[in-house]
């Protein structure tokens, strides 16, 4: 995200917001092995990787073969994906484009709309050579004024926003570019909290707090560098109300203090 901020502040305000079509299911095994073999000469390792790719998966007791693609959920799958797309990164960057990629999620920042259109066409050609394609319905060219989404963030130019981070306050105020969690991410977070604070759950207040604490901290740490002070305060009040309404009969002062202390990472 820091890289994207830097490029936006330099005037790269047109964004190619793209999505790959069935990336994990489209990676060609032999082509992936050839790419890995450029750096790894040990045939035993290459043989193990090939076996893993061909192993398939089990679903409801039925084995499914995987003639193409990388197994999602495998600990090595993200690494293999990055290796496979490494050529794409180098090709785009060698042509002067500001590419930021995480696994199969990527954006290209450009100075003009014309440059963004050209970048998208060249990206399609490079990906085609890798046996991959861009998802047409999930790919667009947009401007920072309209905003775009990347890795769970919504980035957009706003007006007079007070920033949460002093380190970037001066630079960001000049352009009013800010980031917030995506609406879908907020909904998923609230759904998880709701599920863990339902009335039917036979837990004490302290046990409920201990259960939701990792969710709160994990979500808060991921988004803490965004402009979320107001949102975090709103979510804090909402969570406190849910626990209070459910456990008011067993409420204790030390539990109240402990509950409020959960949100220190957010502020």
Do 253 and 135 reside in the same domain of the chain?
no
Query: Which is nearest to 138 in space by CA: 24, 21, 19?
Result: 19
Do 198 and 251 reside in the same domain of the chain?
yes
Do 122 and 213 reside in the same domain of the chain?
no
In a domain, 46, yes or no: no
Do 8 and 108 reside in the same domain of the chain?
yes
Mean pLDDT (whole number) for 10-24 = 89
Considering 99, 132, 151, which residue would you say is the last residue of a domain?
A: 151
In a domain, 42, yes or no: no
Do 133 and 192 reside in the same domain of the chain?
no
Do 188 and 136 reside in the same domain of the chain?
no
Mean pLDDT of the chain: 81
User: Confidence band (pLDDT; 50, 70, 90) for 164?
Assistant: very low
In a domain, 106, yes or no: yes
| Residue 248 pLDDT | 60
In a domain, 36, yes or no: no
Of the two residues 162 and 62, the one the predictor is more confident about is 62
Place of tokens 């995480």: 102
In a domain, 165, yes or no: no
Of the two residues 249 and 199, the one the predictor is more confident about is 199
In a domain, 70, yes or no: no
Query: Which is nearest to 83 in space by CA: 37, 131, 44, 135?
Result: 37
Residue 94, CA atoms < 13 Å, CB-side half-sphere: 8
In a domain, 138, yes or no: yes
Count of domains observed in the chain: 2
Flag whether pLDDT at 162 surpasses 80. no
| Residue 171 pLDDT | 41
84 with 27: CB under 8 angstroms? yes
Considering 151, 172, 199, which residue would you say is the last residue of a domain?
A: 151
Query: Which is nearest to 103 in space by CA: 128, 81, 127, 70?
Result: 81
Considering 151, 175, 208, which residue would you say is the last residue of a domain?
A: 151
Do 147 and 188 reside in the same domain of the chain?
no
Least confident of 123-137, 153-167, 202-216: 153-167
Flag whether pLDDT at 67 surpasses 50. yes
Q: What is the CATH number of the domain that holds 108?
A: 3.30.70.270
Do 196 and 261 reside in the same domain of the chain?
yes
User: Confidence band (pLDDT; 50, 70, 90) for 165?
Assistant: very low
What stretch of H or E contains 141?
A: strand 140-143
The Cα 134–Cα 120 span in angstroms is 9
In a domain, 167, yes or no: no
List 105's β-bridge partners, or say none: 19, 102
User: Confidence band (pLDDT; 50, 70, 90) for 159?
Assistant: low
Do 14 and 103 reside in the same domain of the chain?
yes
pTM for the whole structure: 0.74
Question: What are the distances in angstroms from CA 36 to CA 82, 96, 253?
Answer: 11, 25, 59
Residue pLDDT, tens place only, 72-115: 667 777 888 888 899 999 999 999 999 999 888 899 999 999 99
Domain that holds residue 221: 183-266
263 with 215: CB under 8 angstroms? no
Do 139 and 15 reside in the same domain of the chain?
yes
The Cα 120–Cα 107 span in angstroms is 10
Do 7 and 83 reside in the same domain of the chain?
yes
Flag whether pLDDT at 135 surpasses 50. yes
Do 191 and 232 reside in the same domain of the chain?
yes
| Residue 252 pLDDT | 52
């Amino acid at each position: 995200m820091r890289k994207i901020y830097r490029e936006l502040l330099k005037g790269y305000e047109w964004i190619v917001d793209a999505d790959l079509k069935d990336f994990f299911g489209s990676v060609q095994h032999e082509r992936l092995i050839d790419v890995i073999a450029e750096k790894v000469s040990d045939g035993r390792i290459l043989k193990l990787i090939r076996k893993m790719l061909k192993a398939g998966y089990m679903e409801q007791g039925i084995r499914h073969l995987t003639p193409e693609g990388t197994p999602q959920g495998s600990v090595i799958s993200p690494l293999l994906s990055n290796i496979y797309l490494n050529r794409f990164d180098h090709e785009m960057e060698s042509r002067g484009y500001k590419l930021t990629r995480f696994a199969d999620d990527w954006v290209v920042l450009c100075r003009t709309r014309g440059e963004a259109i050209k970048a998208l066409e060249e990206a399609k050609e490079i990906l085609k050579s890798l046996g991959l394609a861009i998802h047409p319905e999930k790919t667009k060219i947009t401007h920072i004024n309209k905003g775009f989404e990347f890795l769970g963030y919504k980035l957009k130019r706003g007006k007079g926003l007070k920033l949460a981070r002093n380190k970037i306050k001066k630079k960001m105020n000049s352009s009013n570019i800010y980031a917030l969690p995506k609406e879908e991410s907020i909904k998923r977070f609230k759904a998880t909290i709701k599920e863990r604070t339902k009335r039917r759950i036979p837990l004490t207040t302290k046990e409920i707090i201990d259960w939701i604490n990792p969710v709160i901290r994990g979500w808060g740490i991921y988004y803490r560098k965004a402009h979320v002070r107001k949102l975090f305060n709103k979510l804090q009040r909402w969570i406190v109300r849910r626990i209070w309404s459910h456990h008011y009969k067993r409420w204790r002062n030390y539990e109240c203090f402990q509950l409020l202390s959960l949100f220190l990472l957010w502020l």
